[in-house]
Structure 1
């Protein structure tokens, strides 16, 4: 199929269409259940715009044949890259009781970051929706020096603990587990 000039290609705004959860346990990273996801905490309101950093990459395996005039390749090891999340940090403020992201993701905490894109945040999770699920252990919270007119926030470094974290390859399974 050839794309014709002037063809309108629809797109979906990211605004209000991203949900982020912290989930304590997931048995199958590719098929989290509704019960597992409902046991998690929606931290979407704490995540700063552009604050999710997840840059997976894949090495190339060199395939150089003696009799060929070309080099070939194959997909190699995958890396989750530098993973972190920048969140509102209400430590020592009048809002410190509302600090779930920082409280849940303290250094040494293990869990799962679950991200859903393309569906309004206030739309409930449903069977069949595609997710990115990353099994992580949290590093030491890093306080971000404020700029003018910004919120108090921190960056939490995350480290991948288990395989299976490819972007949007997980699908919500059975309704309650």
Structure 2
């Protein structure tokens, strides 16, 4: 097996509605907005689950043991470059707006969705847009915090 370089092969879409998060349809995905085209290079943050430890060590044990507890996400957000004119991300991903972030990896970002592709589907609600502090030699940027509304589908397949 060969390694897959990731450059240009991560796509993120804002999708307003998905009936089955484990098997989104191409029609549902095509109704979304490819927001990754306006994201900064480090624009996906916190899309990594954390698993809490549940101690199962007994009173007489001499070694600490654990099992899996609750899974969660923290610091989940997307970072964008501000666009001139009508900024689609800025006007769509507003506070309290519910939708889905769909992430596809290992396929050229501009490639259309097709049946059988692996995706991750995150049911989210947008938080308040936060402008990043101005810096020299960079574009204007803002972040949209994303809260998980329910457990995401991390091994979904396009129907």
Query: TM-score, structure 1 length as denominator?
Result: 0.83
Tell me which residue corresponds to 2:2.
10
Other-structure match for 2:72 = 79
Gaps of 5+ in 2: none
Question: Structure 2 CA distance, aligned partners of 1:164 and 1:18?
Answer: 18
Counterpart of 2:146 in 1: which secondary structure?
Answer: strand
Q: Confirm whether residue 50 of structure 1 aligns to residue 42 of structure 2.
A: yes
Q: Specify the SS of the correspondent of 1:32.
A: coil
**1:107 match:** 95
| Alignment match of 2:17 (pick from 25, 30, 34) | 25
The answer as to 2:146 corresponding to 1:124 is no
Q: Deviations over 1:73-100 (max 9, x none)?
A: 211001111111001223xxxx222x11
Which residue matches 1:171?
A: 157
Superposed structure 1 runs of 4+ greater than 6 Å apart? none
User: Is the counterpart of residue 39 in structure 1 residue 31 in structure 2?
Assistant: yes
1:4 match: none
Q: Distance in 2 between matches of 1:42 and 1:122?
A: 9
Count of aligned positions: 158
**Cα distance, 1:71 vs structure 2:** 2.6
Larger radius of gyration: 1
Structure 2 partner of 1:64: 57
| Alignment partner, residue 85 of structure 2 | 96
Structure 1 gap segments, 5+ residues each: 1-8
- Kindly state the Cα deviation for residue 72 of structure 1 after the two structures are TM-superposed: 2.2
Counterpart-to-counterpart distance in 1, 2:43 and 2:126? 15
Deviation, structure 1 residue 165: 4.1
Residue deviations 1:14-60 (CA, integer Å, cap 9, x gap) = 21111110000112222111111111111121111011112320101
> Is the Cα contact below 8 Å between 2:120 and 2:152 reproduced in 1?
no
